[in-house]
Structure 1
């Protein structure tokens, strides 16, 4: 799914449900690994500098259209409530009620699907996966204190 397609669906969703235009950009990020999507507000000198919706590239590539649109609409609800000066955070009651009324999933409803990296401790054989590369350069094994070795890339 391309940025233009996401913008089309977001524009239609916001007009239909909140009577608001989409006045922010939507960006697809290849660096976003821990989140599937985010509504970002950047501040500079205590005033709003910019706003955007960011979607994870790996999430878009490895999921179906229904899941992608569900996450996109979730982020659009954040944006719409923020624009209407209403509580827009994940834990706010009005935000949760709005999601329920629109039939949109809450945060952490989907699990990560995409590329992960397998690491192993050469001494004790402890294995684990991480979504980031270079984990072996920064951390040591908690059991035997030796450095991890990168084994291979896997699809999670």
Structure 2
């Protein structure tokens, strides 16, 4: 599917599901990573993540388009177009638009290991565990104002 076919599909869904025309542009945006699509408030264009169509198919694409068209039509009518607004939730329920898009299958799970840096106070022996590096020349122990020394790095799975 290319941008022209997407434009025609969005116009068709807008007329069938909402009973209103879609008068702006719809196109694929390859830079979108974590979302299925987005409605642009200033230009009123709709951008769609092509990966969702390629990996999850036509049904998922139609759901994403309906969701973005809910934002589009409500914004143009001056009603509540944000996710938390009642107008938005009611319209989504009416047209059968999903609240969230499905997760992409090729997207890696976030089972990353976490590294923890351990610092010890030279004076009182207080142990500090941090995720970020601490500048030991600048920061001191919060308990006794003693000098901090880097001890070790732990990796948690």
TM-score normalised by structure 1 residue count: 0.65
Relative CO higher for 1 or 2, CA cutoff 8 Å, sep ≥ 6?
Answer: 1
* Counterpart residue number, 1:90: 83
Correspondence list, 1:1-156, <5 A: 1-42=1-42, 50-106=43-99, 108-114=100-106, 116=108, 128=112, 142-143=115-116
* Larger Rg belongs to: 2
CA distance in 1, matches of 2:107, 2:69: 26
DSSP-derived class of the 1:81 partner: helix
Gaps of 5+ in 1: 43-49, 119-126, 130-140, 147-156
CA distance in 1, matches of 2:90, 2:29: 29
RMSD of the alignment, in Å? 2.5
Gaps of 5+ in 2: 118-132, 134-152
- Identify, as 1 or 2, the structure richer in strand: 1
CA distance in 2, matches of 1:113, 1:5: 25
Does 93-102 or 9-18 show the bigger shift? 9-18
CA distance in 2, matches of 1:74, 1:104: 5
| Matched residue count | 119
DSSP-derived class of the 1:41 partner: coil
Give the deviation of 1:2 after TM superposition.
Answer: 2.1
DSSP-derived class of the 2:26 partner: strand
